[in-house]
Chains A and B, each alone.
Chain A
């Protein structure tokens, strides 16, 4: 049977363009005298196991369509684009004389199994992580929540590549306005691509130049659960092994939901530590520059003298000194992130020990500065979430610059500006500075 026997020209063309793919199969079977043409990608479909389902066709019941609808998620009366979507999406499309159907086969095992998260370490909390498979993620979340109030809605976005997006929320916990705003954003942008988080943020109407992360990502179902219970919405992007939590609030910088698995006092302690980390991470390079080049009178004389001694012979102003070392540090961080675990330590060795030692001995920077910047970097990474860390990493440069001009005053000004900047941010009308994702109340 050829498709053009029955079907319009465009379907035939489409199928022929699929033919160019090595893994595309068109398989013709004759069952009880009727001809069926199955089209699918062999890389997505486990055909051997699916045959069992196909055999159902052969039993030839008159109402087989009705029977199979539940079992195989059968869809009938397909348009051209439906057919294309179904084939690309890993379904089998079956062409018959009287139309076409698409159904779910037994899929190939493409995604990895659920395992511990790769980029997020949780101490004393469940260590299941989300994976690339969309359905599995939703399943994991359902398994985790066990709540009838968990509502999952699905959207399909994109033109060239269709991606599913699931919007999860807890009925009753979430602010109605927030939910409807997100729904509006998603349902009005069916034709936009959502291949990465940037595109997703654009769909959600977030400011492209915002340095404050307006969403947070998490790999841990338990984290997602707590966010949901707090009244935030969680998005799953197909093929993306993270839950995207909307909106991010300022408290997310220092509070990890796994903290609730340790006693209250311990939680308070680690959170205060993280707030310290936040402060040190933002402030200390600026503080160094302010005290070294503008307001040295603030330092005790002993400290002032020892810093002066250590800066003896450093040929450029403190600001450049700090920027120079900071950039090297950032490069080390950036390099280690991408390197395989087997080479990582080498960079640590080269960057930390050799470079750190040599740079001081060569009098390119003062040894006080190496201490300050090491403290900054360590403090920086005590925070929660890569995006929050990056936010702090960036904002310290602004404060550094202001401190170089105005000294300690500049530092305070910088903090005020940062406060104002963060206070201005509203994510779907929810102020970033709110402690709870509720509208209004400001």
Chain B
């Protein structure tokens, strides 16, 4: 039962963990009206890329991305093509854990030193040391337990919304946000699908699953993107909301439910998103250690996983302030665009050439 649906839950969870972090802030920074347009552009882009990516994967049954490149081109090609991906995963891990640690110190435990909270990566490592199926199972159960909490948070924050706040709904004509670096940073939230290609041999992924993924993306994840922007927007309105570092968390702070024993829903929200992040990071550690093992360093995967976690732990500790997180997010843009946009295109190009060659 769990085995059949775990990867879908994981897929949703990955997006939740990416979504509510810096995405709202990025969008509010990049445009001041018609927010739906940048969201939609991002979503459509990811939808197309996901479709492209899954198409390639489905064409090669039982092979993961590494093997697909090995088959269609050569090991060296995959070594070159996947190196930026590994970097992307590393920065992803560092950014995710470090920024959530920052949020935790802001919201939950202001006195906690960063290096202690960074140890949370150890939990991801603990998961990453086991089989991928165990990670998927754990993610599924974590998602199953905690997604209701997130939904509860969303629903209860509806009490403060004011519909006119989303006006003006017409987007600015100039598409100026396309050049905004913040908009480029926002693509951080759209990279979650890459993982699917690497855990592929362990999850059922045939044509029906491919469509199911696309359906889930359109029905579950796209609304989540909209929620992450429109919820704070409807609560605060554009001008105030652009002043917040974490609009979503501020929106949660406004929740006041007299019948709830608990006064501060934010804590639940932050803790739950953090748990999702931990699970996503464990996936990322697993995947990066797998790539490293298959392509660069043929030693035991567990050792590599420990190394990855250590590097990310040290890397995260080197970041001293929120500005540096944003700096990293900004400077990661090239690699991110390569990984999210160029890589699936390259992959399908390779398979296309491979097809031509084999049929000819």
- On A, residues with C-beta under 8 Å from B are 294-295, 297-301, 303, 406-409, 411-413, 415-417, 419-420, 422-424, 426, 431, 433-436, 440-442
Q: Are B108 and A417 in contact (CB under 8 A)?
A: no
**With an 8 A cutoff between CB atoms, is B328 at the interface?**
no
Chain A residues with Cβ below 8 Å from B112 are 406
**With an 8 A cutoff between CB atoms, is B138 at the interface?**
yes
Chain A residues with Cβ below 8 Å from B270 are 409
Please, how many angstroms separate the alpha-carbon atoms of A294 and B142 in the complex?
A: 24
Chain B residues with Cβ below 8 Å from A417 are 123, 126
22 contacts between A and B (CB under 8 A): A294-B109, A298-B262, A298-B267, A300-B262, A300-B263, A303-B261, A406-B108, A408-B108, A408-B267, A408-B268, A408-B271, A412-B272, A413-B120, A413-B275, A416-B275, A417-B123, A423-B138, A431-B137, A434-B2, A435-B2, A442-B6, A442-B136
Cβ < 8 Å to A, chain B residues 32-60: none
Q: Are A409 and B133 in contact (CB under 8 A)?
A: no
Q: Are B278 and A298 in contact (CB under 8 A)?
A: no
* 1/0 contact string of B115-155 vs chain A (CB within 8 Å): 00000100100110011011111101110011000000000
Using CB atoms, name the residue of chain A closest to B263.
Answer: A300
Taking A424-B131, A435-B2 as known contacts, 4 extra A-B pairs with beta carbons closer than 8 A to each other, sorted by chain A number, are: A300-B263, A409-B274, A416-B278, A420-B127
Chain A residues with Cβ below 8 Å from B135 are 420, 423
Nearest-Cβ distance from residue A177 to partner chain B, whole angstroms: 15
6 nearest A-B pairs in the assembled complex, by CB-CB distance = A441-B3, A423-B138, A442-B133, A442-B3, A412-B271, A423-B137
Chain B residues with Cβ below 8 Å from A416 are 123, 138, 142, 275, 278-279
Please, how many angstroms separate the alpha-carbon atoms of A1 and B250 in the complex?
A: 98
Q: Are B275 and A415 in contact (CB under 8 A)?
A: yes
Chain A residues with Cβ below 8 Å from B357 are none
Category for how many chain B residues contact A: 35 or more
Task: Tell whether A412 pairs with B109 under 8 Å between CB atoms, given A431-B2, A442-B2.
Answer: no
Q: Are A413 and B134 in contact (CB under 8 A)?
A: no
Chain A residues with Cβ below 8 Å from B142 are 415-416, 419
**With an 8 A cutoff between CB atoms, is B341 at the interface?**
no
Using CB atoms, name the residue of chain B closest to A433.
Answer: B137
**With an 8 A cutoff between CB atoms, is B4 at the interface?**
yes
**With an 8 A cutoff between CB atoms, is B219 at the interface?**
no
Task: Tell whether A433 pairs with B141 under 8 Å between CB atoms, given A300-B263, A413-B123, A442-B2.
Answer: yes
**With an 8 A cutoff between CB atoms, is B212 at the interface?**
no
Q: Are A435 and B1 in contact (CB under 8 A)?
A: yes
Q: Are B274 and A433 in contact (CB under 8 A)?
A: no
Please, how many angstroms separate the alpha-carbon atoms of A440 and B131 in the complex?
A: 13
Chain A residues with Cβ below 8 Å from B274 are 409, 412-413
Interface core residue of A298, A300, A408, A412 (most chain B CB under 10 Å): A412
Chain A residues with Cβ below 8 Å from B320 are none
Task: Tell whether A297 pairs with B263 under 8 Å between CB atoms, given A411-B271, A433-B137.
Answer: yes
Chain A residues with Cβ below 8 Å from B123 are 413, 416-417, 420
Chain A residues with Cβ below 8 Å from B134 are 420, 423-424, 426, 431
Q: Are A295 and B108 in contact (CB under 8 A)?
A: yes
**With an 8 A cutoff between CB atoms, is B355 at the interface?**
no
Using CB atoms, name the residue of chain A closest to B126.
Answer: A420
Interface core residue of A295, A416, A431, A436 (most chain B CB under 10 Å): A416
Q: Are A434 and B262 in contact (CB under 8 A)?
A: no
Q: Are B133 and A431 in contact (CB under 8 A)?
A: yes
Nearest-Cβ distance from residue B29 to partner chain A, whole angstroms: 28
Chain A residues with Cβ below 8 Å from B130 are 420, 423-424
Chain B residues with Cβ below 8 Å from A412 are 146, 271-272, 274-275
Q: Are A419 and B104 in contact (CB under 8 A)?
A: no
Task: Tell whether A407 pairs with B108 under 8 Å between CB atoms, given A298-B267, A300-B263.
Answer: yes
Please, how many angstroms separate the alpha-carbon atoms of A416 and B121 in the complex?
A: 12
Nearest-Cβ distance from residue B129 to partner chain A, whole angstroms: 9
Using CB atoms, name the residue of chain A closest to B265.
Answer: A298
Nearest-Cβ distance from residue A413 to partner chain B, whole angstroms: 6
Using CB atoms, name the residue of chain B closest to A431.
Answer: B137
Cβ < 8 Å to A, chain B residues 301-335: none
Nearest-Cβ distance from residue B2 to partner chain A, whole angstroms: 5
Cross-chain contact of B263 among A294, A298, A407, A426 (Cβ < 8 A): A298
Task: Tell whether A298 pairs with B264 under 8 Å between CB atoms, given A416-B142, A419-B145.
Answer: yes
Using CB atoms, name the residue of chain B closest to A250.
Answer: B141
Chain A residues with Cβ below 8 Å from B146 are 412
Using CB atoms, name the residue of chain A closest to B278.
Answer: A416
Please, how many angstroms separate the alpha-carbon atoms of A420 and B279 in the complex?
A: 9
Task: Tell whether A434 pairs with B136 under 8 Å between CB atoms, given A407-B109, A416-B275.
Answer: no
Chain B residues with Cβ below 8 Å from A299 are 261-263
Chain B residues with Cβ below 8 Å from A431 are 2-3, 133-134, 137
Chain A residues with Cβ below 8 Å from B282 are 420
Q: Are B3 and A434 in contact (CB under 8 A)?
A: yes
Task: Tell whether A406 pairs with B109 under 8 Å between CB atoms, given A424-B130, A431-B133.
Answer: yes
Nearest-Cβ distance from residue A433 to partner chain B, whole angstroms: 5
Q: Are A440 and B141 in contact (CB under 8 A)?
A: no
Chain A residues with Cβ below 8 Å from B133 are 431, 442
Task: Tell whether A295 pairs with B267 under 8 Å between CB atoms, given A412-B275, A416-B278, A420-B134.
Answer: yes
Please, how many angstroms separate the alpha-carbon atoms of A441 and B6 in the complex?
A: 10
Please, how many angstroms separate the alpha-carbon atoms of A435 and B261 in the complex?
A: 34
Chain A residues with Cβ below 8 Å from B272 are 412
Using CB atoms, name the residue of chain B closest to A412.
Answer: B271
* 1/0 contact string of B284-302 vs chain A (CB within 8 Å): 0000000000000000000
Nearest-Cβ distance from residue B121 to partner chain A, whole angstroms: 12
Chain B residues with Cβ below 8 Å from A441 are 1-4
Please, how many angstroms separate the alpha-carbon atoms of A248 and B205 in the complex?
A: 29
Chain B residues with Cβ below 8 Å from A442 are 2-3, 6, 133, 136-137, 202
